[in-house]
Amino acid sequence: MNSPAPGPVLSLHGAGMSFGERVLWSGLDLELQPGEFLAVLGPNGAGKSTLLKAVLGQQPLTAGRLLIGGRDPGRGSDRVGYVPQQKSMDAATPLRARDLVGLGIDGHRWGVRRRSADERRRIADALEAVGATGYADAPIGLLSGGEQQRVRIAQALATDPDLLLCDEPLLSLDLRHQRAVAGMIDRRRREHDTAVVFVTHEINPVLDLVDRVLYIAGGGHRIGPPSEVLTSATLSDLYRTPVDVLNVRGRVVVVGTPDEPGGCQHHDLTPETAAPRAGGAA
Ligand SMILES: Nc1ncnc2c1ncn2[C@@H]1O[C@H](COP(=O)(O)OP(=O)(O)OP(=O)(O)O)[C@@H](O)[C@H]1O
Protein backbone atom coordinates (compact mmCIF):
# COMPACT_ATOMS: atom_id res chain seq x y z
CA MET A 1 0.00 0.00 0.00
CA ASN A 2 1.17 3.54 -0.69
CA SER A 3 1.79 5.45 2.48
CA PRO A 4 -0.58 8.39 2.26
CA ALA A 5 1.16 11.71 1.83
CA PRO A 6 1.11 13.71 5.07
CA GLY A 7 -1.43 16.52 5.13
CA PRO A 8 -4.65 16.79 3.18
CA VAL A 9 -5.24 14.39 0.30
CA LEU A 10 -7.27 17.00 -1.54
CA SER A 11 -7.27 20.77 -1.05
CA LEU A 12 -9.50 23.32 -2.70
CA HIS A 13 -8.88 26.99 -2.03
CA GLY A 14 -11.35 29.55 -3.33
CA ALA A 15 -12.25 27.05 -6.05
CA GLY A 16 -14.85 28.02 -8.62
CA MET A 17 -16.40 26.52 -11.75
CA SER A 18 -18.42 28.52 -14.26
CA PHE A 19 -19.58 27.98 -17.80
CA GLY A 20 -20.16 31.39 -19.36
CA GLU A 21 -22.47 33.31 -17.06
CA ARG A 22 -23.46 30.19 -15.20
CA VAL A 23 -21.73 29.65 -11.87
CA LEU A 24 -21.87 26.04 -10.68
CA TRP A 25 -19.93 26.72 -7.49
CA SER A 26 -17.52 29.34 -6.24
CA GLY A 27 -15.41 30.14 -3.20
CA LEU A 28 -15.10 26.45 -2.36
CA ASP A 29 -12.61 25.79 0.44
CA LEU A 30 -12.02 22.21 1.44
CA GLU A 31 -9.23 20.15 2.93
CA LEU A 32 -9.94 16.44 2.80
CA GLN A 33 -7.90 14.36 5.23
CA PRO A 34 -6.74 10.75 4.74
CA GLY A 35 -9.59 8.35 5.50
CA GLU A 36 -12.23 11.08 5.44
CA PHE A 37 -15.60 10.34 3.80
CA LEU A 38 -17.16 13.33 2.04
CA ALA A 39 -20.63 13.01 0.53
CA VAL A 40 -21.46 15.45 -2.27
CA LEU A 41 -25.17 16.20 -2.57
CA GLY A 42 -27.28 18.51 -4.68
CA PRO A 43 -29.91 18.59 -7.40
CA ASN A 44 -29.38 17.57 -11.04
CA GLY A 45 -27.01 19.92 -12.81
CA ALA A 46 -25.61 21.44 -9.60
CA GLY A 47 -22.04 20.61 -10.61
CA LYS A 48 -21.26 17.48 -8.61
CA SER A 49 -19.79 15.46 -11.48
CA THR A 50 -17.96 18.53 -12.71
CA LEU A 51 -16.27 18.74 -9.32
CA LEU A 52 -15.03 15.17 -9.80
CA LYS A 53 -13.80 16.07 -13.29
CA ALA A 54 -11.84 18.95 -11.81
CA VAL A 55 -10.23 16.60 -9.28
CA LEU A 56 -9.41 14.18 -12.10
CA GLY A 57 -7.70 16.99 -14.01
CA GLN A 58 -10.25 16.78 -16.84
CA GLN A 59 -11.89 20.16 -16.25
CA PRO A 60 -9.77 23.11 -15.15
CA LEU A 61 -11.13 25.33 -12.38
CA THR A 62 -12.25 28.77 -13.48
CA ALA A 63 -11.10 30.21 -10.15
CA GLY A 64 -8.95 29.23 -7.20
CA ARG A 65 -6.64 26.28 -6.67
CA LEU A 66 -6.98 22.52 -6.43
CA LEU A 67 -4.20 20.26 -5.16
CA ILE A 68 -3.99 16.50 -4.74
CA GLY A 69 -1.48 15.51 -2.10
CA GLY A 70 0.02 18.98 -2.53
CA ARG A 71 0.36 18.65 -6.34
CA ASP A 72 -1.61 19.84 -9.33
CA PRO A 73 -4.17 17.30 -10.54
CA GLY A 74 -3.13 15.27 -13.54
CA ARG A 75 -4.91 12.91 -15.84
CA GLY A 76 -4.29 9.26 -15.02
CA SER A 77 -2.78 9.89 -11.62
CA ASP A 78 -2.28 6.69 -9.63
CA ARG A 79 -3.16 8.61 -6.50
CA VAL A 80 -6.79 8.97 -7.55
CA GLY A 81 -9.23 6.12 -8.16
CA TYR A 82 -12.48 6.84 -9.97
CA VAL A 83 -15.76 4.92 -10.03
CA PRO A 84 -17.70 6.55 -12.89
CA GLN A 85 -21.46 6.82 -13.09
CA GLN A 86 -22.88 3.44 -13.92
CA LYS A 87 -23.57 2.72 -17.55
CA SER A 88 -24.75 -0.75 -18.36
CA MET A 89 -22.23 -2.58 -20.45
CA ASP A 90 -23.17 -4.28 -23.67
CA ALA A 91 -23.48 -8.05 -23.31
CA ALA A 92 -21.04 -8.36 -26.22
CA THR A 93 -18.28 -6.29 -24.54
CA PRO A 94 -15.23 -8.47 -25.17
CA LEU A 95 -13.71 -7.97 -21.72
CA ARG A 96 -13.63 -10.15 -18.66
CA ALA A 97 -14.01 -8.61 -15.20
CA ARG A 98 -10.32 -9.32 -14.69
CA ASP A 99 -9.41 -7.36 -17.86
CA LEU A 100 -11.42 -4.34 -16.74
CA VAL A 101 -9.56 -4.26 -13.43
CA GLY A 102 -6.28 -4.59 -15.33
CA LEU A 103 -7.18 -1.45 -17.28
CA GLY A 104 -7.18 0.37 -13.95
CA ILE A 105 -3.49 -0.45 -13.68
CA ASP A 106 -2.27 -0.06 -17.25
CA GLY A 107 -5.19 1.45 -19.17
CA HIS A 108 -3.03 4.41 -20.18
CA ARG A 109 -0.71 2.13 -22.19
CA TRP A 110 -1.36 1.25 -25.78
CA GLY A 111 -1.44 -2.24 -27.16
CA VAL A 112 -1.80 -5.74 -25.82
CA ARG A 113 0.98 -7.07 -23.66
CA ARG A 114 1.58 -9.75 -21.10
CA ARG A 115 1.08 -8.69 -17.53
CA SER A 116 3.78 -9.26 -14.97
CA ALA A 117 3.19 -11.62 -12.06
CA ASP A 118 3.00 -8.59 -9.79
CA GLU A 119 0.26 -7.00 -11.92
CA ARG A 120 -1.68 -10.27 -12.02
CA ARG A 121 -1.50 -10.48 -8.25
CA ARG A 122 -2.68 -6.88 -7.84
CA ILE A 123 -5.64 -7.57 -10.11
CA ALA A 124 -6.53 -10.75 -8.18
CA ASP A 125 -6.20 -8.90 -4.86
CA ALA A 126 -8.45 -6.06 -6.03
CA LEU A 127 -11.11 -8.52 -7.21
CA GLU A 128 -10.91 -10.44 -3.95
CA ALA A 129 -11.26 -7.25 -1.88
CA VAL A 130 -14.68 -6.59 -3.44
CA GLY A 131 -15.80 -10.22 -3.37
CA ALA A 132 -15.66 -10.59 -7.17
CA THR A 133 -13.21 -13.48 -7.47
CA GLY A 134 -16.01 -15.87 -8.36
CA TYR A 135 -16.78 -14.04 -11.61
CA ALA A 136 -13.32 -12.70 -12.42
CA ASP A 137 -13.30 -14.49 -15.79
CA ALA A 138 -16.91 -13.81 -16.75
CA PRO A 139 -17.61 -11.39 -19.63
CA ILE A 140 -18.33 -8.06 -17.96
CA GLY A 141 -21.48 -7.44 -20.02
CA LEU A 142 -23.10 -10.59 -18.65
CA LEU A 143 -22.74 -9.57 -14.99
CA SER A 144 -25.58 -8.02 -13.01
CA GLY A 145 -25.57 -4.28 -12.20
CA GLY A 146 -24.35 -4.95 -8.65
CA GLU A 147 -21.61 -7.30 -9.86
CA GLN A 148 -20.45 -4.80 -12.47
CA GLN A 149 -20.33 -2.13 -9.80
CA ARG A 150 -18.07 -4.28 -7.62
CA VAL A 151 -15.74 -4.77 -10.57
CA ARG A 152 -15.67 -1.00 -11.23
CA ILE A 153 -14.70 -0.41 -7.62
CA ALA A 154 -11.98 -3.06 -7.89
CA GLN A 155 -10.71 -1.25 -11.00
CA ALA A 156 -10.64 2.08 -9.15
CA LEU A 157 -8.78 0.55 -6.20
CA ALA A 158 -6.27 -1.48 -8.22
CA THR A 159 -3.60 1.23 -8.04
CA ASP A 160 -4.07 1.63 -4.28
CA PRO A 161 -5.10 5.30 -4.55
CA ASP A 162 -5.03 7.82 -1.70
CA LEU A 163 -8.30 9.30 -2.93
CA LEU A 164 -11.37 7.47 -4.24
CA LEU A 165 -13.94 9.41 -6.28
CA CYS A 166 -17.33 7.75 -6.67
CA ASP A 167 -20.02 9.17 -8.96
CA GLU A 168 -23.41 7.80 -7.89
CA PRO A 169 -22.08 4.32 -7.15
CA LEU A 170 -25.39 3.20 -5.64
CA LEU A 171 -27.52 4.12 -8.63
CA SER A 172 -29.94 1.36 -9.64
CA LEU A 173 -28.71 -1.02 -6.96
CA ASP A 174 -31.17 -2.69 -4.63
CA LEU A 175 -30.87 -2.16 -0.89
CA ARG A 176 -28.73 -5.24 -0.31
CA HIS A 177 -26.26 -4.23 -2.99
CA GLN A 178 -26.27 -0.59 -1.84
CA ARG A 179 -25.23 -1.80 1.60
CA ALA A 180 -22.60 -4.12 0.18
CA VAL A 181 -21.05 -1.43 -2.04
CA ALA A 182 -21.12 1.22 0.70
CA GLY A 183 -19.60 -1.26 3.18
CA MET A 184 -16.82 -2.12 0.74
CA ILE A 185 -15.87 1.50 0.27
CA ASP A 186 -16.03 2.15 3.99
CA ARG A 187 -13.79 -0.83 4.76
CA ARG A 188 -11.27 0.42 2.25
CA ARG A 189 -10.98 3.84 3.80
CA ARG A 190 -10.72 2.41 7.31
CA GLU A 191 -8.07 -0.17 6.42
CA HIS A 192 -6.05 1.92 3.94
CA ASP A 193 -6.85 5.49 4.99
CA THR A 194 -8.21 6.15 1.51
CA ALA A 195 -10.15 9.42 1.45
CA VAL A 196 -13.54 9.16 -0.28
CA VAL A 197 -15.54 11.72 -2.27
CA PHE A 198 -18.94 10.17 -2.82
CA VAL A 199 -21.44 11.88 -5.13
CA THR A 200 -24.95 10.68 -4.42
CA HIS A 201 -28.63 11.54 -4.54
CA GLU A 202 -29.23 9.13 -1.68
CA ILE A 203 -27.48 10.01 1.51
CA ASN A 204 -29.39 7.54 3.63
CA PRO A 205 -27.47 4.40 2.66
CA VAL A 206 -24.18 6.07 3.66
CA LEU A 207 -25.26 8.54 6.32
CA ASP A 208 -23.59 6.60 9.13
CA LEU A 209 -20.30 6.60 7.20
CA VAL A 210 -20.21 10.25 6.22
CA ASP A 211 -17.84 12.63 8.01
CA ARG A 212 -18.84 15.73 6.08
CA VAL A 213 -21.40 16.72 3.48
CA LEU A 214 -20.81 19.17 0.64
CA TYR A 215 -24.25 20.30 -0.52
CA ILE A 216 -24.24 22.25 -3.80
CA ALA A 217 -27.34 24.05 -5.11
CA GLY A 218 -28.10 27.12 -7.18
CA GLY A 219 -24.46 28.21 -7.46
CA GLY A 220 -23.96 28.12 -3.68
CA HIS A 221 -22.78 25.43 -1.31
CA ARG A 222 -22.62 24.43 2.34
CA ILE A 223 -20.08 22.11 3.89
CA GLY A 224 -19.95 20.46 7.31
CA PRO A 225 -21.06 17.43 9.30
CA PRO A 226 -24.44 16.02 8.24
CA SER A 227 -26.02 17.26 11.47
CA GLU A 228 -25.13 20.84 10.52
CA VAL A 229 -25.79 20.79 6.78
CA LEU A 230 -28.90 18.60 6.59
CA THR A 231 -31.12 20.94 8.55
CA SER A 232 -34.14 22.99 7.56
CA ALA A 233 -32.30 26.21 8.44
CA THR A 234 -29.16 25.46 6.40
CA LEU A 235 -30.94 24.16 3.31
CA SER A 236 -33.57 26.94 3.39
CA ASP A 237 -30.69 29.40 3.45
CA LEU A 238 -28.90 27.63 0.59
CA TYR A 239 -32.01 27.31 -1.61
CA ARG A 240 -33.28 30.75 -0.56
CA THR A 241 -36.73 29.26 -0.04
CA PRO A 242 -38.32 27.35 2.84
CA VAL A 243 -37.11 23.75 2.81
CA ASP A 244 -37.97 21.17 5.46
CA VAL A 245 -35.59 18.46 6.51
CA LEU A 246 -37.51 15.70 8.24
CA ASN A 247 -36.33 12.70 10.14
CA VAL A 248 -38.78 9.97 9.21
CA ARG A 249 -38.18 6.53 10.70
CA GLY A 250 -34.45 7.02 10.62
CA ARG A 251 -34.37 8.56 7.15
CA VAL A 252 -33.53 12.10 6.28
CA VAL A 253 -36.18 13.44 3.93
CA VAL A 254 -35.89 16.86 2.30
CA VAL A 255 -39.16 18.47 1.27
CA GLY A 256 -39.76 21.62 -0.73
CA THR A 257 -36.61 22.10 -2.79
CA PRO A 258 -37.36 23.99 -6.00
CA ASP A 259 -35.34 21.64 -8.20
CA GLU A 260 -38.20 20.17 -10.13
CA PRO A 261 -40.11 22.10 -12.83
CA GLY A 262 -43.35 21.49 -10.92
CA GLY A 263 -42.09 23.24 -7.81
CA CYS A 264 -41.67 21.18 -4.68
CA GLN A 265 -39.54 18.12 -4.73
CA HIS A 266 -39.89 15.47 -2.11
CA HIS A 267 -36.52 13.95 -1.98
CA ASP A 268 -35.45 11.14 0.16
CA LEU A 269 -31.95 11.82 1.20
CA THR A 270 -31.27 8.95 3.55
CA PRO A 271 -31.41 5.15 4.26
CA GLU A 272 -33.35 2.45 5.63
CA THR A 273 -32.33 1.53 9.14
CA ALA A 274 -30.68 2.99 12.18
CA ALA A 275 -31.07 6.45 13.51
CA PRO A 276 -29.05 8.69 11.20
CA ARG A 277 -26.26 10.80 12.56
CA ALA A 278 -27.98 13.89 11.19
CA GLY A 279 -29.88 13.96 14.42
CA GLY A 280 -30.57 17.66 14.27
CA ALA A 281 -32.12 17.31 10.88
CA ALA A 282 -35.74 17.11 11.87
N1 LIG B 1 -17.83 21.53 -20.51
C2 LIG B 1 -19.02 22.06 -20.23
N3 LIG B 1 -19.46 23.17 -20.88
C4 LIG B 1 -20.67 23.72 -20.59
N5 LIG B 1 -21.50 23.27 -19.62
C6 LIG B 1 -21.11 22.18 -18.95
C7 LIG B 1 -19.87 21.52 -19.20
N8 LIG B 1 -19.74 20.47 -18.34
C9 LIG B 1 -20.87 20.48 -17.61
N10 LIG B 1 -21.69 21.49 -17.96
C11 LIG B 1 -22.97 21.81 -17.37
O12 LIG B 1 -22.79 22.02 -15.99
C13 LIG B 1 -23.92 21.56 -15.26
C14 LIG B 1 -23.47 20.66 -14.14
O15 LIG B 1 -23.20 19.38 -14.64
P16 LIG B 1 -22.82 18.17 -13.69
O17 LIG B 1 -22.78 16.94 -14.55
O18 LIG B 1 -21.62 18.50 -12.91
O19 LIG B 1 -24.09 18.12 -12.72
P20 LIG B 1 -24.43 17.09 -11.56
O21 LIG B 1 -24.60 17.87 -10.31
O22 LIG B 1 -23.43 16.00 -11.53
O23 LIG B 1 -25.83 16.58 -12.06
P24 LIG B 1 -26.57 15.13 -11.98
O25 LIG B 1 -27.03 14.98 -10.57
O26 LIG B 1 -27.70 15.30 -12.91
O27 LIG B 1 -25.59 14.07 -12.41
C28 LIG B 1 -24.84 20.88 -16.27
O29 LIG B 1 -25.88 21.77 -16.60
C30 LIG B 1 -23.95 20.63 -17.45
O31 LIG B 1 -24.66 20.68 -18.65
- pLDDT, one tens digit per residue, over 186-198 is 999 999 999 999 9
Q: Ligand 1 pocket check: which of 19, 172, 200, 201 to mutate, most ligand atoms within 8 Å of Cβ?
A: 19
For ligand 1, pick from 22, 25, 28, 48 the residue to mutate: most ligand atoms within 8 Å of CB.
48
What is the chain's length?
Answer: 282
Question: Rounded to the nearest 10 degrees, what angle do helices 117-129 and 97-106 cross at?
Answer: 120
Contacts of 223 (CB under 8 A, 6+ apart): 28, 30, 212, 213, 214, 215, 229
In a domain, 237, yes or no: no
Residue 278 has pLDDT above 90, yes or no: no
Q: Which residues pair with 71 in a beta bridge?
A: 68
Structural domain includes residue 60 = yes
Would you say residue 23 lies in a domain? Answer: yes
Sheet harboring 263-268: ordered strands across? 244-248, 251-260, 263-268
Distance 50 CA to ligand 1 centre (A): 6
pTM: 0.86
As for ligand 1, residues whose beta carbon falls within 6 Å of it are 19, 24, 42, 44-50
| In a domain? residue 19 | yes
Q: Is the ipTM of this complex over 0.95?
A: yes
**Res 62: pLDDT:** 97
Q: How many structural domains comprise the chain? A: 1
How high is the mean pLDDT of the chain? 85
The answer to whether residue 275 scores a pLDDT higher than 80 is no
Range(s) of the domain holding residue 95: 10-221
CA of 51 to the centre of ligand 1 (A): 9
Cα-Cα-Cα-Cα torsion 24, 69, 188, 139, nearest 10 degrees, comes to 70
Q: In what order do the strands lie in the sheet with 63-68?
A: 22-32, 10-19, 63-68
Q: How confident is the model at residue 179 (pLDDT cuts 50, 70, 90)?
A: confident
CA 129–ligand 1 middle distance (angstroms): 32
Q: Which has the closest alpha carbon to 161: 2, 12, 52, 37?
A: 2
Residue 214 located in a structural domain: yes
**Domain annotation covers residue 242:** no
pLDDT, tens only, 63-72: 999 999 988 8
- 26 belongs to a structural domain: yes
Q: Which is higher by pLDDT, 230 or 279? A: 230
- Residue 3 inside a domain? The answer is no
Q: How far is the CA of 49 from the centre of ligand 1 (A)?
A: 7
Q: Residue 180: which CATH number? A: 3.40.50.300
Q: Is the pLDDT of residue 5 over 70?
A: no
